[in-house]
């Protein structure tokens, strides 16, 4: 990526924190609004996943050509990064402040809910961290919590990975259709019936299948990991 393209992308990412957004070199300036472009692109992704998003589909929403959109968002990958950061705006909340577990749970719950609202964010891998203002806010807030309680910084990687993994599972449970759930249950029943001694071989997993609230299990698992982290981080 050329130097001027990198600078233009950084300006777009940080447009609400003091930078000037580059506009079209030709034609009327300010004809389109970057926030409105990203809101339209995010709506497409929320409804149909990243497969539904292209410069063509987003441009068509505004009656423009993909080339006209380039002046506002850059390449498709840059547009996806802008969408990712724009969708990651951090909600306001006050840290409970009672314990490290309370503060980490508040952060993790908010981050979990963000990924449930925009599950396509989970398709954006670690190497696609945008270095944008909103994503930076999440990292800074987490590091502030860890510093306040003198917790080890390596917890950051574990928390980010756990939130993303549990949110992905929660989204899959939420989006499972009635037909899909029925098919899963039918196969489970057939397995128990056809495999000799299945329940005796796997008593814990077969017992859990009938007692665990699977829709709530991902968030419960996230909170369990936070308890393990905070127990390990607490002084002896």
Domain limits, the chain:
3-87, 100-233
Q: What is the pLDDT of residue 211?
A: 62
Contacts of 21 (CB under 8 A, 6+ apart): 11, 12, 15, 34
C-alpha angle 139-145-148 in degrees, rounded to nearest 5: 135
User: Quick check: pTM over 0.85?
Assistant: yes
Same fold for the domain at 3-87 and the one at 100-233?
A: no
Q: What is the pLDDT of residue 38?
A: 98
Q: What is the pLDDT of residue 92?
A: 95
pLDDT < 50 stretches in the chain: none
Lookup: tokens for 108: 């993790």
Angle at which helices 76-87 and 34-48 cross, to 10°: 90
Q: What is the pLDDT of residue 204?
A: 85
Nearest to 33 by CA among 64, 77, 75, 1: 64
CATH number of 3-87: 1.10.10.60
Q: How far is CA 26 from CA 8, 29, 62, 68, 167, in A?
A: 16, 8, 18, 10, 43
* Topology (CATH) of 100-233: Tetracycline Repressor; domain 2 (1.10.357)
Q: What is the pLDDT of residue 73?
A: 95
Nearest to 48 by CA among 128, 118, 153: 118
Q: What is the pLDDT of residue 210?
A: 64
């Amino acid at each position: 990526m050329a130097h001027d393209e990198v600078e233009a992308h950084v300006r777009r990412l940080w447009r609400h924190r003091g930078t000037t957004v580059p506009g079209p070199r030709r034609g009327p300036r300010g004809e389109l609004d970057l926030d409105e472009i990203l809101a339209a692109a995010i709506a497409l992704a929320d409804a149909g996943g990243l497969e539904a998003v292209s410069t063509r589909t987003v441009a068509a929403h505004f009656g423009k050509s993909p080339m006209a959109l380039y002046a506002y968002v850059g390449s498709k990958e840059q547009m996806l990064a802008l969408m990712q950061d724009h969708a990651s705006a951090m909600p306001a909340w006050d840290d409970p402040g009672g314990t490290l577990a309370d503060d980490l749970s508040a952060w993790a719950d908010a981050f979990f809910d963000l990924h449930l609202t925009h599950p396509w964010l989970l398709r954006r891998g670690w190497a696609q961290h945008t270095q944008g203002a909103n994503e930076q806010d999440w990292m800074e807030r987490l590091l502030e919590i860890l510093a306040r309680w003198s917790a080890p910084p390596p917890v950051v990687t574990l928390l980010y990975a756990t939130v993303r993994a549990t949110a992905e599972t929660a989204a899959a449970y939420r989006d499972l259709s009635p037909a899909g759930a029925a098919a899963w249950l039918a196969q489970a029943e057939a397995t128990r019936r056809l495999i000799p001694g299945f329940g005796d071989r796997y008593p814990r997993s077969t017992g859990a299948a009938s007692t665990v609230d699977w829709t709530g299990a991902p968030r419960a698992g996230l909170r369990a990991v936070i308890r393990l982290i905070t127990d390990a981080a607490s002084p002896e």
